[in-house]
Every structure is written in structure tokens, then in C-alpha cells.
């Protein structure tokens, strides 16, 4: 049985490694001889996850509860804890120092194992209602009392979903492949249809190639969504495909809808279960869709026949209370454009055949629609559809190869998107500043970072493009994520992504990325995207170089 200390010490070693090859090799050696339960948990934990994203469970522990538990476990004052967090700018390192200073000891300290930490997390996830916060603080306090300083660092980071190891999906894929001498593509495919690398690792260990090949799409377990690349222009896109299936690109939020065994489950683009926030769509599915299917589509908000801004859809997705009022206030429609299961796995079927099956599975209604799909090789016809999409208030068009399979989680040339907006970046919000004057109670600017080998490096800050309503909403969202404050400046737990437009990218020593955005402007909160899906430093560099070719 693996102790949490052994796991934490391993994390402290790989935290210093920047080579992706060495990281996957070290992880491969570490996981190779673990038992099934430890293997499952270690894979998730090393990626900074307690549960897969589609799992409804969450432990519901924020920064405030961590502060309280550390205080109770150590007898150290809240002021001293805050000072350490401010000094370290990392709550994990601060927790390590706090536990090293702890004034209280007990004769009954229990050695923490990976299994014990999992058991406590699962117990927290079950707690709700009156007294639940108090019980969570007690459980956390017990963990910190039993933990060594290095264990406290990684327990804290794990709770915050911020391990700072630079270990992404690609490294885990390669580690599993190396550990059991398997094809990395086979490991990746198993992950794309299960969305659980812990499960994939256990199957790889026990059943090898045969087991991974036998992993199939199952209802109510989400499949990674196929993604699109940006098209340079209409002519080149049509020329490359020969014939293209053209659809409107809706300004909404992607959904994957599972209907089977009498149950409807709706997953967001981040593969989070959002069924409870969209009751009218779930009801329409039961009335108008053949049971035993997985559908791919886009939810849009509509008012007076026109699409409402994307943010309105996300407000519906985030809603936990007064859902009925929101159904009336923000009416939704869903446009389906693909089907990946109808009792048979369809991802290897060509798009044109999947479309035929989609038409048979869905009966259109006021709320449920099938996206119009026109196959053409004429750029002028594409231009006409593109103009009609923009006139209807949508983003542009999608061009799809009619013979393409559905490739989960992949961004390739089978699907191309053409939008009428300036270049934007999706960047992680890592800090901010409080405003002045009448905006003194609001966060008014935000620090942004891109991904560099799984780690976050700053690339600028944005303070324009916000309405007062945006700032009110964003302050409400980001306040619980404040790790520490110094004057007006705040540091956030990195959890959300902004889409940001800019005039140009410049080389700059001011930020650790080596780049800075000139005149950045907030476009929207992308809480349909996870931090792992933010733009990389490679994309920033590519856009920077591309400026000189215009």
C-alpha cells in the first residue's frame, strides 16, 4: 500500500524536471508496480484531479476552509498563515511551512496512505447541508495533524486542483504506454472514449492491448469532443476538402447529450454534468429523441428570434438555484450536428453516414433542431452561407469533410472553422487588482497566463472590454478563488479562462513568458474551457511570428 508521503516525495522530485521525456519515464517507473486502487488514485492525483471532470462529486473545499483547518491543526494564527501565503505565493508551499511550525502534536497520528486520503475525500464529497462545512474542517484538520510538511504541500495543492508538476494528458499517456509496453495511440484512444486515465491505466496494467482495444463508448460516460482548426480562407478550405459540408457556427456552448436507460445526461464542453441546469432540454430529449443515443450539438440562448451573447448560455450552465426563473429569462435551443452512438459506436463511420443516422434519431421541435448541412465544392456558395450566418447573428461557418470519422479530442483539418472576428487568445486568469472609486468593491483588471509545458507563465493583464455588469459577475466568481491579497493586488487559484483580443504581441522581459499583449481587450469568460485547454506559449510565439508575414 502506497503512503501519501512516498507519493509526495515523488511529486517533489518530478516538480523539478522540465523534460517531458524524463517526466513520462519517471512516472512510468513509479506506477508500474502499484496495486489497482493506488494506481487509479495516483494517476488522477498526479494530474491534480480528485475525480474525473464528468463525475458529479466534488469535495467543496475552498481557500477559507483550508485556512481554518491549518489554523486548527497547528495553533498558528490566521495572520501568520496569511503572511506565509503572501510570502510564498503558493498555498501548497505555505501549508508545508505552516505544518513544519506546528505547535500541536498528538500521540495518535495516523500514517496517511493514498487510500486513506481518497477515503477522506470521498467522505467530504458526500457531505451537504447544515453542519457540512464544520465536518469538512474537522476532516481536513485531522489530515493536517497527521501529515508531514511535504505531505501538506501536495494535499493542499491537490484540494485546489493545482499540483504545479507540469504533468498533462500527453505525459500520462506516454507513461502508461511505457509502463506496459503499449502503443501510445491506443492508450490515447481509450482515454478519449472513457475520459478517465485512472481507469485506462488499470486496464492497461491488467489486460494490456486487448483490454484497451475492448474499451467502448458507453452511455452516460462522456467522450472527448472532436475539435476544429481555424481555416485560413474559404478558397483554401474548399480546395483542400474537395467537397465540404457547410454549417452555421453557432455562438453558444457545446454539449454532448446521452439518452438511454430512461435517463438523460447533458455534458458541457469541459465534460461537466450540466443536466440539472437545462431541464427543458432534458424534457424535450425524452419526447423527441430515440432512446440509446449520444448526440453532439450546440446550445444557444435566443430572444425575439435572435441569438443572445454566449455569456447568457454560460449563466444558465452555472445556475444551481431558481432554475425555473432562468428557463423563462434565458430560453435555450439546441442545434445537433453529429451523433456518435445509436446502439452502435459510430466514431469510425463517415460524417455523411452519421448525419443520416442523426436525422433518424431526432425529431425536431421548437427547442431541438438539426443544424442545416449543405455539401458543396463551390466557394461562392460557402460565401453565401457564411454571410447568412453572420446576418443571423452567429459567428461564421464550419466546413466539414463529409468522409471524415469522428476523432475524439483531436483538432484537425477534417473540421475547419471560419469566423469574422479578430485573432484572440484563451488565457488563464491568475491574478488581478481591485478597482478605485465607485469600482473599489470590484475586481477591475486581471493578470493572464498561457501554458508552458503544463505550467503557467504570465503574458499580460487586461483591464478593458468589461461592462459594470461583467465586473460584478466576475468579482462574484473570482472572490472565492483569492489565495492572498497585497494592497490592491490579488492572486487567484487558476480555475478560469478568458478569451482576449489584442492589437499585437510584443517581445517583453516584463513577463516570464517573454511576451506581452499590446492593448488587450476582454471578449468573454470561457468557463466552457478548462485551464488545460488554454493557449500554449507555442501558439503565442506562432502568432507573434505571423505578425511579420502579414
What are the two backbone dihedrals, phi and then psi, of residue 329, each rounded to the nearest 5 degrees?
-75, -40
Which among 65, 201, 189 is positioned nearest to 136, based on CA atoms? 65
Of 178, 249, 333, 461, which one is the catalytic site residue? Answer: 249
Place of cell 476544429: 228
249 catalytically annotated: yes
**Pairwise CA distance, residues 318 & 332, whole Å:** 14
If you write DSSP's letter for every residue of 400-439 in order, what string do you get?
E-TT----TT-EEEEEEEEESS--EEEEEEEEEEE--GGG
- Please state, as a whole number, how many other Cβ atoms lie within 10 Å of the Cβ of residue 438: 8
Report CA 24 to chain centroid distance, whole Å. Answer: 22
- Please state, as a whole number, how many other Cβ atoms lie within 10 Å of the Cβ of residue 105: 7
On whether the CB atoms of residues 15 and 165 are closer than 8 A, the answer is yes
On whether the CB atoms of residues 163 and 157 are closer than 8 A, the answer is yes
Residues 6 or more apart whose Cβ sits within 8 Å of residue 9: 150
* Cα dist from 127 to 59, 121, 124, 135, 446, whole Å: 8, 10, 5, 8, 34
Q: Which three cell numbers stand for residue 392?
A: 443571423
DSSP 269: T
Give catalytic residue positions.
Answer: 249
Amino acid at each position: 500500500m502506497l503512503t501519501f508521503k512516498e507519493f509526495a516525495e515523488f511529486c517533489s522530485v518530478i516538480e523539478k524536471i522540465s523534460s517531458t521525456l524524463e517526466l513520462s519515464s519517471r512516472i512510468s517507473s513509479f506506477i508500474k508496480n502499484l496495486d489497482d486502487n493506488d494506481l487509479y488514485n495516483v494517476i488522477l492525483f498526479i494530474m491534480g484531479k480528485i475525480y474525473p471532470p464528468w463525475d458529479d462529486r466534488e469535495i467543496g473545499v475552498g481557500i477559507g476552509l483550508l485556512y481554518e483547518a491549518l489554523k486548527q491543526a497547528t495553533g498558528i494564527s490566521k495572520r501568520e498563515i496569511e503572511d506565509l501565503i503572501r510570502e510564498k505565493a503558493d498555498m501548497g508551499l505555505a501549508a508545508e511551512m505552516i505544518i513544519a511550525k506546528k505547535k500541536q502534536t498528538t500521540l495518535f497520528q495516523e500514517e496517511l496512505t493514498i487510500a486513506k486520503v481518497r477515503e477522506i475525500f470521498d467522505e467530504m464529497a458526500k457531505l451537504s447541508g447544515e453542519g457540512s462545512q464544520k465536518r469538512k474542517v474537522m476532516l481536513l484538520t485531522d489530515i493536517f495533524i497527521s501529515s508531514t510538511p511535504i505531505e501538506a504541500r501536495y494535499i493542499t495543492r491537490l484540494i485546489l486542483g493545482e499540483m504545479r508538476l507540469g504533468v498533462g494528458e500527453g505525459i500520462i499517456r506516454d507513461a502508461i504506454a511505457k509502463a506496459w509496453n503499449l502503443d501510445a495511440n491506443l492508450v490515447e484512444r481509450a482515454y478519449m472514449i472513457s475520459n478517465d486515465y485512472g481507469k485506462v491505466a488499470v486496464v492497461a496494467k491488467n489486460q494490456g492491448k486487448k483490454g484497451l482495444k475492448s474499451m467502448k463508448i458507453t452511455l452516460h460516460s462522456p467522450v472527448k469532443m472532436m475539435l476544429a482548426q481555424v481555416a485560413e480562407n474559404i478558397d483554401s478550405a474548399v480546395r483542400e476538402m474537395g467537397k465540404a459540408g457547410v454549417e452555421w457556427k453557432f455562438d453558444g456552448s457545446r454539449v454532448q447529450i446521452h439518452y438511454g436507460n430512461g435517463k438523460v445526461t447533458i455534458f458541457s464542453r469541459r465534460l461537466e454534468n450540466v443536466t440539472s441546469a437545462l431541464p427543458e432540454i432534458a424534457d424535450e430529449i425524452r419526447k423527441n429523441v430515440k432512446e440509446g443515443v449520444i448526440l453532439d450539438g450546440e446550445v444557444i440562448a435566443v430572444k425575439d428570434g435572435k441569438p443572445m451573447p454566449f455569456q447568457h448560455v454560460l449563466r444558465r450552465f452555472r445556475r444551481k438555484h431558481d432554475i425555473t426563473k432562468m428557463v423563462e429569462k434565458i430560453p435555450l435551443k439546441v442545434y445537433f450536428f453529429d451523433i456518435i452512438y445509436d446502439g452502435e459506436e459510430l466514431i469510425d463511420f463517415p460524417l455523411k453516414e452519421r448525419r443520416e443516422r442523426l436525422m433518424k434519431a431526432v425529431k425536431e421541435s421548437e427547442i431541438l433542431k438539426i443544424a442545416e448541412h449543405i455539401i458543396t465544392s463551390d466557394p461562392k456558395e460557402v460565401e453565401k452561407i457564411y454571410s447568412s450566418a453572420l446576418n443571423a447573428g452567429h459567428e461564421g461557418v464550419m466546413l466539414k469533410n463529409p468522409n471524415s470519422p469522428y476523432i475524439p479530442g483531436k483538432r484537425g483539418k477534417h473540421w475547419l472553422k471560419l469566423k469574422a472576428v479578430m485573432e484572440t487568445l484563451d488565457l488563464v486568469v491568475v491574478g488581478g487588482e481591485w478597482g478605485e472609486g465607485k469600482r473599489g468593491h470590484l475586481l477591475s483588471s486581471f493578470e493572464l497566463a498561457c501554458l508552458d509545458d503544463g505550467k503557467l507563465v504570465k503574458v499580460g493583464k487586461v483591464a478593458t472590454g468589461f461592462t459594470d455588469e461583467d465586473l460584478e459577475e466576475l468579482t462574484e466568481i473570482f472572490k472565492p478563488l483569492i489565495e492572498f491579497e497585497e494592497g490592491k493586488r490579488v492572486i487567484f487559484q487558476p480555475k478560469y479562462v478568458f478569451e482576449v483580443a489584442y492589437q499585437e504581441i510584443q517581445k517583453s522581459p516584463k513577463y516570464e513568458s517573454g511576451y506581452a499583449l499590446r492593448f488587450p481587450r476582454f471578449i468573454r469568460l470561457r468557463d466552457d474551457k478548462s485551464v488545460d485547454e488554454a493557449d500554449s506559449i507555442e501558439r503565442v510565439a506562432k502568432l507573434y511570428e505571423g505578425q511579420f508575414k502579414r
